Amino acid sequence: MDQVTSGAFRRRSSSRPAPVRSPLFRRLLLSYLVLFLVPVIILGAVLYARVVRSVRNQVLDEGVQKIRAVRDTVDRQLLDLDKIYYLIAMDEDLKPSEIGASAISQLIAIEKLQWYTATNRRLIDNILFHVHGNEMVWSAQSVYAPGTIAANRFLGDSMSADEVLALLESPLRPSLFIAPVSTGPRGVIVAYLLPIRAGVRRTATVTFLLNIGTIRSIAQVIAGDPDLDLAVHADTGASFSLSRADPARVWLSTSARVPQIAGVRAPAAGLIRASDGYYLVARSEKASWTYAGWISHEALLSHSAAERANVVLTFAIVALIGAILIYATLQFAYDPIRRLRKSVEGRLGAALSARDDLEAIRDGFRQLTLQKDEHFRRYVNQNREAVQDYLLLSLLNGRILDLEEFNVKSEQVGLHFSVGNYAAVIVALEGGVAAGDRDMVLKSVQSVLGREYEVAWKPLPDPDKGVYVIGSRDQSETRLQAVLQLTKEYVETTHGCSITLATGSFAGDITQASRSFVEARAALDYRVLLGTSSVIAYGRVARATQDTVYYPEEEMRELRSTIMRGDAQAAGETVHAILAALADHAVPLFAARCICYDIINTFIRTMHEMNMDFSSVEDPAAITAELAELHSMEVLERVTRLLAEQVCNHISHTRHVSPASPELIERIEAYVREHYAEITFSLQEVADAMGISQSALSTIYRTMTGNTLHSVVTDLRIEKAKEELRADLPIKKVVVDVGYSDASSFIKKFKREVGMTPGNYARLHRVERIVK
């Protein structure tokens, strides 16, 4: 069945779609996912970078090793050319003085060169032999005059005969010459030039025209990596490619790294970094060139593709599993919130409209509170006067613990105190007031007092009396007397009746309003002496009575001591002595009743000093009302003595010790002697061990012994310190041994008690020992 609600509610329907996930749940889920995924992503990125860097370093290290292997292999091939070169240099038929002497010698030279070429046809395409100073060039095919040298394009397409001859006579050491050629499948000529010397003079040059295809095959077989572009760079600046896929590519010719590559010295091998890749270089140990390889960043990344994919897949799986676990855990942890929402909805009987669960629960509790408050307000409004009377009665009986508690409880009925001093005033109508006008007269008293003070009042069981609790900013009794006198005159003038106003002393704590109420009841009894239609202040009449009427001061002090000891028998005997003394001095009954009120006040004050509540023994208002109705000394003694015994028994039971004071004092002193030297020692610790409050402990000990526990502890610590100082113990150890937490406090205390510092005291006794 649908239920109509308002505000934070909506109509419940069986066909309603499933509720959307709470924004709170989504926020929590997103927060936990972020907290989990951010470290995972950071860790994954770090690991990804390390994998890429590791694979890159591995590929580059392998590339350097391959370049080094190419260099070593090609250099070994060049050793064979060196051997042929030495054979040519030692051949008698190829001596510069013989080679051009006749046609026969020229044919022999060509045959010799053919034979030397055939010894390593795989590496050598042709051999050129040139004698310095002679314009002829011999090869394995023929001898060439200057006019035909250029035409045969032995050393490239664009060189003239003079340039060819100059090149052949130029090498001072084995060198490499590279030149492009337009014909032929290789597209480049590579010449290895070696000078022949006679002493220090160069006489001829042997030039090996190398088979570039063989060198490329060697390089590719050793490298075995299609992504590694290989080349040879000569010191002259020319280069040729060793890459089979693109033999015409000479990428070093325009590279900004060429000077660095050319500057590599044998047998060095290593890396040179560029903006888009890496050069891998190795210097030839046999000739004036450098082997170089090139690998781009894209090629390096392609080598780590599998490893990168594995890292990404691993962390993706970890992130997915973590997200699933977080979701499942959050579902479990969030379940109490859902159940709480359902519970609130069940209490309200309607679905909460807010999508956010916390907002919905807050709205639900607010609605429940409003419903409860509305019920409470209706009850209070219907029973306003009864609630006021109950709260004021609790205040006068000492059941209110503090001002805040009273204000919270009385807020709904219009009672409120904001000041810090409180007194009780009792108003007694002395006749001439009709029964129907009594409340009007008592309320008019409240209106007059309310002009100067904060006021709350209630009628007493006696229909002609009312009690007022006034709150004041100060404790001026003179001001209070003046206000009460004006109130009396106003009431008598307005209503034509006489009233008596009795007030107790001001109390600085609202919890002591009960004491002021007892004093006001006592002051009211002084009407017998002072007459009706008067203003009576307890403080003034009590002092005046002590001067004119016998007052048992010594017995009252003894009564206080017996109460603090919790000695019921001694307290009863003291009360009997007080009442007997009153009878002996023929004290009037009204005065005896006032002194009995003072006895009750003594009970209340003493128990308050001991952090105990008199209302837990007897209702102050009830006992004062009972005393007001008693009309014989015997009954006064019986009631007061019984009350004294009840108070002492309560104190004794609360302490869990025998009322006999010596036992308690012995226990206190024994505990102090055992624990005073501990750094953590405190009077609160002693009070806890005795089962009483600290203030009660101090008061009982001072009352029973005439000394304070603090001075006892100080004396014990100072005496122990003296003993250890006389034994030449270090001051730091003495400080710890006597229970002080720092040396400065100990030194100040010692100097104040002994008259000198601990150091001077120790030196003085050291000197005394030496003198003795």
Give pLDDT tens digits for 750-761.
888 888 888 888
pTM for this one?
Answer: 0.41
Give the model's pLDDT for residue 19: 43
Query: Bridge partners of 429?
Result: 499
Give the model's pLDDT for residue 20: 43
> How many C-beta atoms lie closer than 10 Å to residue 665's C-beta?
15
> Which segments of the chain belong to CATH 1.10.10.60?
661-771
pLDDT greater than 80 at residue 681:
yes
Q: Are 603 and 643 in contact (CB under 8 A)?
A: yes
CA angle 757, 760, 764 (to 5 degrees): 140
Q: Are 516 and 424 in contact (CB under 8 A)?
A: yes
Give the model's pLDDT for residue 536: 87
> Which segments of the chain belong to CATH 3.30.70.270?
416-655
Q: Are 179 and 237 in contact (CB under 8 A)?
A: no
**Which residues contact residue 79 at a Cβ distance below 8 angstroms, ignoring those fewer than 6 apart?**
286
Which H or E run includes 179?
strand 175-180
Q: How far apart are CA 512 and CA 522, in angstroms?
A: 16
State whether residue 258 is helix, strand or coil: helix
Helices (H), 656-693: 661-675, 683-690
**Which residues contact residue 668 at a Cβ distance below 8 angstroms, ignoring those fewer than 6 apart?**
686, 690, 697, 701, 709
Q: Which residue shows structure tokens 């104190």? A: 651
Pairing of strands 351-352, 9-10: antiparallel
DSSP for 498-564 reads: -EEEEE---BSSGGGHHHHHHHHHHHHTTHHHH-SS-EEEHHHHHHHHHHHS---HHHHHHHHHHHH
Q: How far apart are CA 197 and CA 461, in angstroms?
A: 147
Angle of helix 538-548 relative to helix 513-524, nearest 10 degrees, comes to: 50
Q: How far apart are CA 593 and CA 589, in angstroms?
A: 6
**Which residues contact residue 299 at a Cβ distance below 8 angstroms, ignoring those fewer than 6 apart?**
227, 228, 277
Across 10-14, 106-110, 151-155, 257-261, which has the greatest mean pLDDT? Answer: 106-110
End-to-end CA distance of the chain: 108
> How many C-beta atoms lie closer than 10 Å to residue 710's C-beta?
12
**Both tokens of residue 50?**
């390390």
> Which segments of the chain belong to CATH 3.30.450.20?
19-345
Give the model's pLDDT for residue 44: 84
Across 12-21, 161-170, 182-191, 622-631, which has the greatest mean pLDDT? Answer: 161-170
Residue 149 exposure: Cα atoms within 13 Å on the Cβ side: 22
Position 264 confidence tier, pLDDT thresholds 50, 70, 90: low
**Which residues contact residue 490 at a Cβ distance below 8 angstroms, ignoring those fewer than 6 apart?**
444, 448
Q: How far apart are CA 353 and CA 9, in angstroms?
A: 5
Q: What is the DSSP letter of 16?
A: P
Q: How far apart are CA 341 and CA 357, in angstroms?
A: 7
Query: Bridge partners of 424?
Result: 469
Average pLDDT (284-294) is: 77
Whole-angstrom Cα Rg for the chain: 59
Position 659 confidence tier, pLDDT thresholds 50, 70, 90: very low
Task: Give CATH for domain 416-655.
Answer: 3.30.70.270
Q: How many helices and strands in the chain, by DSSP H and E?
A: 28, 18
Average pLDDT (576-586) is: 78
DSSP for 357-402 reads: HHHHHHHHHHHHHHHHHHHHHHHHHHTHHHHHHHHHHHHHTT----
Residue-wise pLDDT for 330-339, tens only, equals: 888 878 877 8
| Alpha-carbon distance values, 20 to 3, 12, 23, 356, 365 (Å) | 21, 15, 9, 10, 22
Phi, psi of 253 (to 5 degrees): -65, -25
pLDDT greater than 50 at residue 15:
no
Q: How far apart are CA 438 and CA 443, in angstroms?
A: 9
Position 14 confidence tier, pLDDT thresholds 50, 70, 90: very low
Express as a percent the part of the chain with pLDDT over 70. 81
Task: Give CATH for domain 19-345.
Answer: 3.30.450.20
pLDDT greater than 60 at residue 241:
yes
Q: Are 545 and 539 in contact (CB under 8 A)?
A: no
Q: Which of 162-171, 175-184, 568-577, 740-749 has the lowest mean pLDDT?
A: 175-184
Q: How far apart are CA 397 and CA 517, in angstroms?
A: 9
Q: 245, 237, 236, 247: which is closest to 211 by C-alpha?
A: 247
Q: Are 502 and 523 in contact (CB under 8 A)?
A: yes
Q: How far apart are CA 406 and CA 469, in angstroms?
A: 13
Position 315 confidence tier, pLDDT thresholds 50, 70, 90: confident
Residue-wise pLDDT for 367-387, tens only, equals: 766 665 566 566 666 667 777
Residue-wise pLDDT for 603-633, tens only, equals: 887 877 776 767 667 777 677 767 766 666 7
Pairing of strands 421-429, 535-537: unpaired
Q: How far apart are CA 752 and CA 416, in angstroms?
A: 50
Q: How far apart are CA 269 and CA 764, in angstroms?
A: 86
Q: Are 219 and 230 in contact (CB under 8 A)?
A: yes
Give the model's pLDDT for residue 375: 60
Give the model's pLDDT for residue 381: 67
Residue-wise pLDDT for 546-560, tens only, equals: 556 677 888 888 888
DSSP for 107-144 reads: HHHHHHHHHHHHTTTTTEEEEEEEETT---EE-SS-EE
Residue-wise pLDDT for 404-431, tens only, equals: 777 777 776 778 888 888 999 999 887 6
Average pLDDT (568-588) is: 80
Give the model's pLDDT for residue 425: 92
CATH, domain 661-771, list 3.40.50.12280, 1.10.150.120, 1.10.10.60, 3.40.50.1100: 1.10.10.60
Give the model's pLDDT for residue 16: 40
Position 654 confidence tier, pLDDT thresholds 50, 70, 90: low
Select the more confidently predicted residue: 513 or 185: 513
pLDDT greater than 80 at residue 686:
yes
Give the model's pLDDT for residue 720: 92
pLDDT greater than 50 at residue 11:
no
Q: 604, 608, 451, 427: which is closest to 523 by C-alpha?
A: 427
CA angle 172, 175, 181 (to 5 degrees): 130
Give the model's pLDDT for residue 634: 76
Distance of CA 18 to the CA centre of its chain: 40
Residue-wise pLDDT for 523-544, tens only, equals: 887 776 566 788 888 877 766 6
Is the CA virtual torsion 101, 104, 107, 112 positive or negative? Answer: negative
Q: What is the DSSP letter of 226?
A: T
Query: Bridge partners of 418?
Result: none
How is the chain split among helix, strand and coil, in percent rounded to 5?
60, 15, 25
Q: Are 41 and 308 in contact (CB under 8 A)?
A: no
Average pLDDT in the chain = 78
Average pLDDT (10-34) is: 61
Bond prior to 267 in cis (omega within 30° of 0):
yes
Q: Are 650 and 617 in contact (CB under 8 A)?
A: yes
pLDDT greater than 80 at residue 49:
yes
